Amino acid sequence: MTNIKLVDKWKKILGLNEYRTYLDIITKEEMIEENKLAYNGVCLYCNEKKLIIIKVINPTERTIIHELLHVKYQDYSENKIEKLTIKYMKDVKKGVI
């Protein structure tokens, strides 16, 4: 599945279809500039404009789910988002999703 199809798949599952989404693949150096830390991804979003910009070093299904979960559950901690990511990835591996 292409990256864009993966993003569309997960926007649909998470009910984020009304958002326009841009996926940016960046280098580790650019990521460090972006947020001072070597995360795998960062997600910038605007609820008013219904806009999501996902910047990732390696666009795997896992990183895409993780970043979109930040938009879906905006008040969740990083820890909670990561736990949910793991849960969804288990469903993917089981073939449920």
Min separation Cβ 67 and Zn ion, Å = 7
Min separation Cβ 66 and Zn ion, Å = 6
DSSP code of residue 45: E
Closest CA to 66 of 90, 51, 82, 79: 82
Q: Which residues bind Zn ion (CB under 5 A)?
A: 78
Of 19 and 63, CB closest to Zn ion? 63
Min separation Cβ 70 and Zn ion, Å = 6
Of 32 and 94, CB closest to Zn ion? 32
Query: How far is residue 90's CA from residue 97's CA, in Å, rounded to a whole number?
Result: 9
Query: How far is residue 31's CA from residue 38's CA, in Å, rounded to a whole number?
Result: 6
